[in-house]
A and B are shown apart, each in its own frame.
Chain A
Amino acid sequence: METNIQNLLNILVGGITIWILCAGALLCLLIDALWPRKMSVPVYTIGILTLIVTLCSAWYQWLQPDLPAAQDLLVIDLHTLFFITLVVLVGILTILNALGYMQLHNDLTAEFCSLIIFSIIGMVFFFSSDHLLINFIGLETMSLSIYVLVGSHKKNFKSNEAAIKYFIIGGVASAIFLYGVAMFYGAYGTLKISELAMALPTQGLDYLPKTAVAFILTGIFFKLAVVPFHFWAPDVYEGAPSPVTGFMATGVKIASFGFAIRIFIGINVLDMPQIQNLLVVVVVATFIVGNLLAIVQDDVKRMLAYSSVSHAGFVLFGMLAGFREGRYEPFSSHTVMFYLLGYLLMTLGAFAILSLMIRKRSEATHYTDLEGLGHSKPLLAGLFTLFMFSMVGMPGTVGFAAKYSVISLAVQNGHIGLAILAVVMSIVSAFYYLRPSVTMFFKKGAGGCPVIQEIPFTSSASITFCAFTVIYLGLNPDAFIKLAKIAAF
Chain B
Amino acid sequence: MIPKDFIILIPLLPLLGFLINGSITYEQLRGRVCANKSMVSFVACLMPFLSFALGLWVLLTLALHPEIKSISTPHLLDWMILDHFHLTFGLEIDHLSSVMTLVVTGVGFLIHLYSVGYMHDDPHYSKYMSYLNLFLFFMLVLVVADSLVLLFVGWEGVGLCSYLLIGFWFTDKEKAKAGKKAFIVNRIGDFGFMIGIFLIVAAFAAAVPPDTGTEIARDFLSFSYLKTHAGVLTPIITAVTLCLFFGATGKSAQIPLYVWLPDAMAGPTPVSALIHAATMVTAGIYMVARLHFLFVMAPFTMHVVATVGLVTALLAAIIGLTQYDIKKVLAYSTVSQLGYMFLGLGVGAFSGAIFHVMTHAFFKACLFLGAGSVIHALHHEQDIRFMGGLVKKMPITAVTFLVCTLAIAGIPPLAGFFSKDEILFMTYANEHTRHYFWVGLFTAGVTAFYMMRLFVYAFTGKTRYEHPEKIHESPWTMTLPLIILAGLATVAGFLGMPGHSIIGGWLSHLGQITPHHIEGSALQEFHLMGISVGWAGFCALAAFFLYKRNLNFTEGLKRTFKTLYSFIYNKYKVDEIYDFLFVQPIKGFSQVFLNRFFDQKIVDGLMVNGLALSSRFLGRCLSLIQTGLAVHYLLFLLIGLCLVIWFIVNG
Q: Which residues of A contact B (CB under 8 A)?
A: 164-165, 168-169, 172-173, 176, 207, 210-211, 213-215, 217-218, 221-222, 228-229, 231-232, 234-235, 272, 274-275, 277-278, 281, 289, 291-296, 428, 431
Q: Across the interface, which residues of B come within 8 angstroms of A213, CB to CB?
A: 648
* B645 within 8 Å of A (CB atoms): yes
Chain B residue, CB-CB nearest to A282:
B644
Nearest CB of B to A240, in Å: 15
Q: Across the interface, which residues of B come within 8 angstroms of A214, CB to CB?
A: 641, 644-645, 647-649
B648 A169 Cβ-Cβ under 8 A: no
Decide: A272 near B623, CB < 8 A? Known: A222-B637, A228-B640: no
Q: Across the interface, which residues of B come within 8 angstroms of A281, CB to CB?
A: 647
A210 touches which of B632, B637, B648 (Cβ 8 Å) = B648
Contact residues of B between 599 and 650, Cβ < 8 Å to A = 611-612, 615-616, 618-620, 622-623, 625-626, 628, 630, 632-634, 636-637, 639-641, 643-645, 647-650
Chain B residue, CB-CB nearest to A226:
B640
B648 A231 Cβ-Cβ under 8 A: no
Q: Across the interface, which residues of B come within 8 angstroms of A294, CB to CB?
A: 619
Chain B, residues 192-217, CB within 8 Å of chain A (1/0): the string is 00000000000000000000000000
B639 A231 Cβ-Cβ under 8 A: no
B640 touches which of A229, A272, A291, A295 (Cβ 8 Å) = A229
B637 A211 Cβ-Cβ under 8 A: no
* B499 within 8 Å of A (CB atoms): no
* B235 within 8 Å of A (CB atoms): no
Given A274-B648, A292-B615, 20 extra CB contacts under 8 A? A165-B633, A168-B630, A172-B637, A210-B648, A213-B648, A221-B644, A229-B636, A229-B637, A231-B637, A272-B648, A274-B647, A274-B649, A278-B647, A278-B648, A294-B619, A295-B619, A296-B623, A428-B611, A428-B615, A431-B615
Q: Across the interface, which residues of A come within 8 angstroms of B649, CB to CB?
A: 207, 210-211, 214, 274
A169 touches which of B615, B637, B647 (Cβ 8 Å) = B637
A169 B612 Cβ-Cβ under 8 A: no
B634 A168 Cβ-Cβ under 8 A: yes
Decide: A176 near B619, CB < 8 A? Known: A169-B633, A231-B632, A272-B648: no
B interface majority secondary structure: helix
Q: Across the interface, which residues of A come within 8 angstroms of B628, CB to CB?
A: 235
CA distance A428 to B611 in the complex (A): 8
Q: Across the interface, which residues of A come within 8 angstroms of B556, CB to CB?
A: none
Decide: A292 near B619, CB < 8 A? Known: A165-B633, A169-B634, A215-B641: yes
The total of chain B residues at the interface (CB under 8 A) is 29
A295 B616 Cβ-Cβ under 8 A: yes
Q: Across the interface, which residues of A come within 8 angstroms of B637, CB to CB?
A: 169, 172-173, 176, 218, 222, 229, 231
* B66 within 8 Å of A (CB atoms): no
* B123 within 8 Å of A (CB atoms): no
A228 B643 Cβ-Cβ under 8 A: yes
Chain B residue, CB-CB nearest to A235:
B628
Nearest CB of B to A429, in Å: 10
A221 B619 Cβ-Cβ under 8 A: no
B651 A431 Cβ-Cβ under 8 A: no
Q: Across the interface, which residues of B come within 8 angstroms of A207, CB to CB?
A: 649
Chain A residue, CB-CB nearest to B633:
A231
Chain B, residues 376-401, CB within 8 Å of chain A (1/0): the string is 00000000000000000000000000
CA distance A234 to B620 in the complex (A): 15
Return the 8 tightest CB-CB contacts between A and B, nearest first. A296-B619, A274-B651, A292-B619, A214-B648, A214-B645, A278-B647, A231-B633, A228-B640
Nearest CB of B to A238, in Å: 10
Chain A residue, CB-CB nearest to B651:
A274
Q: Across the interface, which residues of B come within 8 angstroms of A232, CB to CB?
A: 633
Decide: A221 near B640, CB < 8 A? Known: A168-B630, A169-B634: yes
A211 B645 Cβ-Cβ under 8 A: yes
B648 A293 Cβ-Cβ under 8 A: no
CA distance A91 to B623 in the complex (A): 32
Nearest CB of A to B320, in Å: 50
A231 B636 Cβ-Cβ under 8 A: yes
Nearest CB of A to B30, in Å: 13
Q: Across the interface, which residues of A come within 8 angstroms of B611, CB to CB?
A: 428, 431
> Would you give 6 A-B contacts (Cβ < 8 Å), ordered by A?
A165-B633, A211-B648, A218-B641, A228-B643, A291-B615, A293-B622
CA distance A291 to B611 in the complex (A): 12
Decide: A278 near B636, CB < 8 A? Known: A168-B630, A214-B645: no
